[in-house]
Structures are given as structure tokens and as C-alpha cells.
Amino acid sequence: MGLEKFIIEGGHRLKGEVTASGSKNAALPILAATILAEGPCSIGNVPRLRDVDFLARILQTLGVSVERDAMGRLNTKVVSEDASLAPYELVSMMRASFCVLGPLLAKRGYAKVSLPGGCAFGDRPVDLHLKGLRALGADIKIEHGYVIATAKRLRGANIYLGGSMGSSVLGTGNVMMAAVLAEGQTVIEHAACEPEVVDLANFLISMGASIEGAGSHRIRIRGVRRLEGCHYEVIPDRIEAATLLMAGAITKGEVIVKNVDPTHLEAVFDKFKEAEISFTRNCKVVAAGMEGRPKEVEIATLPYPGFPTDLQAQMMALMCFGMGASVFMDGIYPDRLNHVAELKRMGAKVLRVNNTCVIIGTDKLQGAPVMASDLRAGAALVLAALAAEGETEVRRIYHIDRGYDNFEGKLRSLGAVIKRMPDESPEKPPSV
Ligand code: EPU
């Protein structure tokens, strides 16, 4: 399939109700965990995304059949345990696929998984994943860009999993997926507390694992001999839900998002309050809208329950319309600022020093051709375009398709004027 772009006509207030899809970042490690199951798994509320399709392809190469049924559930079954190799061509496309390492090692005693490499917003190391698996007794070598891990049976251990940037979401998941089949007890200290880690733990518990404390910094796991298949529902996507709420706010409309757990969005609501963006929240429905311009805010992204790095770009798009000067600092990915240059093309006033940006609010942005460089940067450009004067062309939208289920369909149902078109413009050679 060729490249595609969005053409967005700005200036339409979004109004109405949409339903959030299941969480991408919960669904991906849960799918990886199906490697551990003796029987079939049936997983509901899995979003329809390129990243999910992609992980399904990797699982198939590892002997796991993955099929979506008529109800939209993903049904998985391990049909062969012969292949334990996840090649570079696949892992380098999607970091989350590194999550097959823990389950392969625990279940099959051997895994050869490519190191994922960096991504559009910088170096993304996996030292914590490897530290945790080594502590469980795995023999780990790095050869020719591959992690080769072996263990007869892993042994429970006390593992401190904090790094220089705090906890690791997928690192905690990888180690947890290995420890569930280890002999004896594992305690992960400085575990990530994200709702997606809790969801993975709940999935493993449904398979028969013994896990306590997920959602806190200390997770205690008692190893079991085998895990069964199970029936499970993935939690709603808090990042998608907040992105849609911000689409309501930036267009001065009013958007209601259903199928959300509002307790997952406390840090976002806190900033909405500070910015005087009006919102209501009740069980599983949240709404946000805005009359005038938001007040300025200061945002430092932090691990959960702090403000998520995965919403930094979208919130920045919103604060381009702030009354005063807002300050953004990404404490998790200091280089996750590729959207800044593109927002500036639309007339945003942004001063950047290292990982800190000051956004001087303005009352208008102008449509322009812009380029998505990663998933959340792409979403931010779409939000900016919805509120800008005139037409915006957002290129490289395959990034957005990785993580937003039917994004333009949902926006269109709220009144956005957005079209998906083939992108025939020539690929730009890198500027020098
Ligand atoms: N880090 C290390 N060593 C490691 C692992 C991470 O130093 O071994 C550092 C990272 O460089 C970063 C920080 O720790 O500075 C946190 O990274 P983390 O490991 O938590 O990120 P991740 O697990 O690889 C997940 C999400 C990301 C999200 C981050 C942070 C998935 C599939 N990905 O990545 O989601 O930004 O947690 O919340 O769950 C997205 O959805 O757009 C996305 C990038």
C-alpha cells in the first residue's frame, strides 16, 4: 500500500459522543503473554491497529496462531514451540515486540530476539529488561545485534528495576511475564505502576499466575508450573480517550468519550482544571469542551500517575492557543519533540532549550503541509489542524495508524472535516 495523508479543513467545532477503543499499550504485552498459555486465549477490546497486526505477525512466526473472530475478539493458540527467533526486520519495526523475550525464555527456555534499536524520539535502551531477566537466572549474551537468552528453569529473585529515567513499563512487563513461571518468589522493586502493567498482571492472573501489588512500585510474584488459556477484556485506551477530549477542547466544541476509566486520567484532568478547560467525569464517560482560550500551564511528563509522555505533544498543540506562556518538559523522553518544528510551520510560537519548550499562546494557527514523525506527534498535528485556519495536509499518517483505531472516522463522527488521500508527493531527501 502506498503512502497516505490527511487533508483537514480547520475551524469546525467537534461535538458529540465517541467510544474509546481498547488500549494499545495494554493489548501488545498481553498478546505477547499468550506465548505462555497451554490452551487457547480469547481477548476482547483489542484495538484494530497496525501495531497489533504487526505483533500478530511476529507471534505467528513464533508458532502462535492469532485470528480475529466475527465479534472482533482475538483468539490465540500456541501451535508449535519450535521457533524462538524474533528477527531484526520485525523487532526493529516495533519496540513492543521486544516483549516476547520474557515469555519465550520462561516457556521455551531459549529466546533469540533482536535488539530493537532507537526510535524517532531517541535512544530507547533495554538494559532494565536484561537486568531483570539475568536476576532470574537467565544466561544472556548479545551477539551480532541479538539478545540470546537461555535458562533451564528461571528462579525467583528480588529485582530492583529503577533506571536513570525511572521505571520501565515494558521492562516491568517483560520481567513479570518471565517470573510467573519461575521457581519460587520474585519481588520487583521500582516496578512501573501504569494501568497497562496492571492489565497485563490481571491477564496473567486470569491464566493462573500468582501476582500481588501490580499498580504499586512493588510487585510480588509466586511462580507456578503452568498457565492455562483464558477469556479477557483489555482496558480502554486512556491516551486515545484524552486525545479525543483534547480535540473537543481545541475546537471549542464538546466531546464525550465513552468506555473510559476516568481514574486513569487524573493528571490530565488536573491540567484541564489549571487551564480552565471545562470537563465532567462520571463512571466511564468523560466530556471536555472550552469556550475561550485555555490558561497557560506547566507540564512535566512523569511515570504514572504523572502526566503521560504519550500526551505531551497533543497537550502542546492545545496550549499553542493558550492565553499566556506554557512550559513543557518531557522527563521521560527528552528528545520527544519532533512535533515542535511542524507546529511552528503552522504559526505556533515555541522556544526550545534542550528538553524544555516555552509555548507562547496565540489566537490562531494556519493550515500548512506538515509531516508526522511518530504516533503522538502525528496526533498533535491533527489536533492543531482541526483548530487552524484553512487546510492542513498531514503526511506520513502511517504513524497515526499504528496507534489510533479509526482516528479519522471518530473525528468525522464528531463533525471534523478530514479526508484520507493517497500521498503522491515525492519522498523528501533528508535536508543537509
Ligand atoms: N529506559 C531505560 N532502560 C530500559 C527501559 C527504559 O533507561 O531498559 C528508559 C527509557 O529510555 C525512558 C524511560 O526509561 O526514558 C521509560 O521508558 P519505558 O521503558 O517505560 O518505555 P516503554 O516501556 O518502552 C511504553 C509505551 C510508550 C510510552 C512509555 C512511557 C508501549 C508499547 N509503549 O514504552 O508508548 O511512551 O511506555 O510511558 O507500552 C506510545 O504509545 O506512543 C508510546 C511510545
Percent of the chain with pLDDT over 70: 98
Atom of ligand 1 nearest to the CA of 309: 36
Query: What is the reported pLDDT for 179?
Result: 98
Question: Is 270 found in the same domain as 123?
Answer: no
Ligand 1, atom 28: closest residue by C-alpha:
310
List the grid coordinates of 379.
Answer: 496526533
Q: How far apart are the C-alpha atoms of 390 and 394, rounded to whole Å?
A: 13
Q: Which residue has the higher pLDDT, 424 or 357?
A: 357
121 CB within 6 A, ligand 1: no
Ligand 1 neighbour 312 (Cβ under 6 A): no
Shared domain check, 406 and 307: yes
| Closest to 387 measured CA to CA, from 415, 413, 409 | 415
Best of 124, 238, 329, 374 for a ligand 1 pocket test (most atoms within 8 Å of beta carbon): 124
**Residue 430 pLDDT > 60:** no
Amino acid occupying residue 72: G
pLDDT tens-digit map of 163-215: 999 999 999 999 999 999 999 999 999 999 999 999 999 999 999 999 999 99
CA of 219 to the centre of ligand 1 (A): 18
Q: Give residue 289's pLDDT.
A: 84
Position with higher pLDDT, 405 vs 285: 405
What lies within 8 Å, CB to CB, of 363 at 6+ separation is 293, 321
pLDDT over threshold 70, residue 91 = yes
Q: What is the pLDDT of residues 306-354, one digit of tens each?
A: 999 999 999 999 999 999 999 999 999 999 999 999 999 999 999 999 8
- Pick the more confident residue, 1 or 413: 413
Q: What is the 3-state secondary structure (H, E, C) of 277-290?
A: CEEEEECCEEEEEC
Which among 94, 129, 165 is the best mutation to test ligand 1's pocket, defined by most ligand atoms within 8 Å of the CB? 165
Same domain, yes or no: 161 and 253: no
The predicted structure's pLDDT at residue 396: 95
- Residue 123's pLDDT band, with cuts at 50, 70 and 90, is confident
Q: Whose CA is nearest to atom 39 of ligand 1?
A: 25
Atom index in ligand 1 nearest the CA of residue 170 equals: 23
Domain count, the chain: 2
Amino acid occupying residue 418: I
**Domain-embedded: residue 430:** no
> Is residue 169 lining ligand 1, measured as CB closer than 6 Å?
yes
Residue pointed to by grid coordinates 489542524: 385
Distance CA 167, CA 173 (A): 11
User: Is the Cβ atom of 99 under 6 angstroms away from ligand 1?
Assistant: no
Span 32-69, pLDDT tens digits: 999 999 999 999 999 999 999 999 999 999 999 999 99
Choice from 170, 176, 198, 314 to test ligand 1 binding pocket (greatest atom count within 8 A of CB)? 170
pLDDT > 90 fraction of the chain, expressed in percent and rounded:
90
Domain span including residue 52: 24-233
Within a domain: residue 429? no
Domain boundary among 212, 233, 254: 233
Phi-psi region of 192 (alpha: psi -120 to 50; beta: other; left: phi over 0): beta
Give me the pLDDT at residue 120, please: 77
- Same domain? 68 vs 146: yes
Average pLDDT over residues 68-97: 93
Position 288 scores a pLDDT of 87
Catalytically active residues, by annotation: 119
DSSP 257-312: EES--GGGGHHHHHHHHHHT-EEEEETTEEEEE-SSPPPP-EEEE-STTSB-GGGH
- Cβ(191) – ligand 1 distance below 6 Å: no
Do 78 and 140 lie in a common domain? yes
> Does residue 244 share a domain with residue 218?
no
Structure confidence at residue 429 (pLDDT): 55
Question: Is the pLDDT reported for residue 117 higher than 90?
Answer: no
CB under 8 Å to 341, separation ≥6 — which residues?
A: none
169: CA distance to ligand 1 center in Å? 6
Q: Is residue 431 part of a domain?
A: no
12 in a structural domain: yes
| Residue 131 sits in the same domain as residue 271 | no
Of 215, 233, 251, the residue that ends a domain is 233
Q: What pLDDT was estimated at residue 119?
A: 72
* Residue 428 binned pLDDT confidence (cut-offs 50, 70, 90): low
35 in a structural domain = yes
Q: What is the CATH number of the domain that holds 214?
A: 3.65.10.10
Q: Is 375 in the pocket of ligand 1 (CB under 6 A)?
A: yes
376 CB less than 6 Å from ligand 1?
A: yes
1 pLDDT exceeds 80?
no
In a domain, 56, yes or no: yes
Output the average pLDDT for the chain: 95
Q: Which of 198, 233, 268 is the last residue of a domain?
A: 233
Residue range 5-33, pLDDT digits in tens: 999 999 999 999 999 999 999 999 999 99
Assess contact for 2 and 422: CB atoms under 8 A: yes
**Contact 163 CB / ligand 1 (< 6 Å):** yes
Place of cell 484541564: 272
Query: What pLDDT is recorded for position 425?
Result: 78
229 in the same domain as 240: no
Q: Is the CB of 403 under 6 A from ligand 1?
A: yes
Please tell me whether residues 415 and 280 are part of one structural domain. Answer: yes
In this prediction the pTM is 0.97
Same domain assignment for residues 292 and 314:
yes
Examine residue 165 and state whether it is found in any structural domain, yes or no.
yes
| Residue whose entry in the numeric block shows the C-alpha cell 519533540 | 337
Q: How far is the CA of 421 from the centre of ligand 1 (A)?
A: 32
- Whether residues 216 and 256 fall in one domain: no
Instruction: For residue 99, tell me if it sits in a domain.
Output: yes
Query: pLDDT per residue over 328-339, tens digit each?
Result: 999 999 999 999
pLDDT at residue 258 in the model? 96
226 and 289 share one domain: no
Q: In 3-state terms, what secondary structure has residue 370?
A: strand
